[in-house]
Amino acid sequence: MSVTTDQDRYRLLGDLMIDSRLDADAVRRPLAPVPAYLMPAPDQGPIVELPAPAAPRATLDDVLPGRVAVRDYAPGPITAAEVSAILAAAETMDAQSWPGERAGGVGLEFFCAAWRVTGVDTGLYRYLPGRDALRRVASLPTGPAAAELVIQTEFADAAALLVVTGNLAASLDRHGSHGHRLLLSRAGAAGHAAWLAALRLRLAGTVFAGLLPHVLRERAGADGYHRAPLLAFAVAHPAAEPAA
């Protein structure tokens, strides 16, 4: 049986410090555009045009102090204009915060799993920010079968899910191991921007892990590398509180 000595521990620590310095050097090096072979394949489903984003119904100061994670949802739909506002908020957050990454070819992708969205058929869609539209990529089950798409079944009761994915292959090529952390930070910022936009529309929801990996792999080509799931946001009208 091998015994780990203090000398072994110091050697391992030194190796880790060298790796960290190499990773930091990779972050500082001139950043090249991502090679085309690392980009995810495009999809070709039908397009649904979105209306202009719904105008906020409350100020950020009004909703921020009371922000809580909501997991119980009303059965009614939300509007396509509300979905448009939520997706635009996520996209704007990333575009304004990480323009260099996007220019270099490392963008985030936003998918919408729509169950109860007025004017949008049930299905999984990819957001097309350049034309304010959704491209359908797959069908989705409804009713009890929808619970098989998520670990926590209550999220299948949301009107819609915003699912954030990123190109892990491209980010690692550009930044080394630092690229994964950067993608997670960007996804978190986009998800919370979507959440705040929903609150200002008097909707409710929460960020969570997202659809099960095999669901996105089978329906959206998310292989976990060129298109890696990062975060999701569930949104709907909140369930009515029981009478006192």
Task: Please indicate, yes or no, if residue 174 is contained in any of the structural domains.
Answer: yes
What's the pLDDT score for residue 27?
Answer: 47
Burial of 73 (0-12, 13-18, 19+ CB in 10 A): buried
Task: Please indicate, yes or no, if residue 106 is contained in any of the structural domains.
Answer: yes
Q: What does R_g of the chain's alpha carbons equal in angstroms?
A: 20
pTM confidence score: 0.81
Task: Please indicate, yes or no, if residue 241 is contained in any of the structural domains.
Answer: no
CATH number at residue 188: 3.40.109.10
Task: Please indicate, yes or no, if residue 26 is contained in any of the structural domains.
Answer: no
Task: Please indicate, yes or no, if residue 78 is contained in any of the structural domains.
Answer: yes
Is the separation of the CB atoms in 209 and 232 below 8 Å? yes
- Amino acid identity for residue 164 in this structure: V
pLDDT at 101 over 50: yes
Confidence at 184, pLDDT banded by 50, 70, 90:
very high
Quick count: other Cβ atoms within 10 Å of Cβ 177? 14
Residues 11-30 have pLDDT tens digits of 655 555 444 444 444 444 55
pLDDT at 93 over 80: yes
Under DSSP, the state recorded for 121 is -
CA–CA separation, 209 and 151 (whole Å)? 9
Task: Please indicate, yes or no, if residue 124 is contained in any of the structural domains.
Answer: yes
Task: Please indicate, yes or no, if residue 5 is contained in any of the structural domains.
Answer: no
Name the pairing type of β-strands 117-118 and 78-79: parallel
Quick count: other Cβ atoms within 10 Å of Cβ 214? 10
How many structural domains comprise the chain? 1
Residues 114-134 have pLDDT tens digits of 999 999 999 999 999 988 999
Task: Please indicate, yes or no, if residue 146 is contained in any of the structural domains.
Answer: yes
Scored b (16 or more CB within 10 A) or e, 31-45 reads beebeeebbbeeeee
**Token output for 128:** 């097309």
pLDDT at 59 over 50: yes
Domain extent at residue 206: 46-236
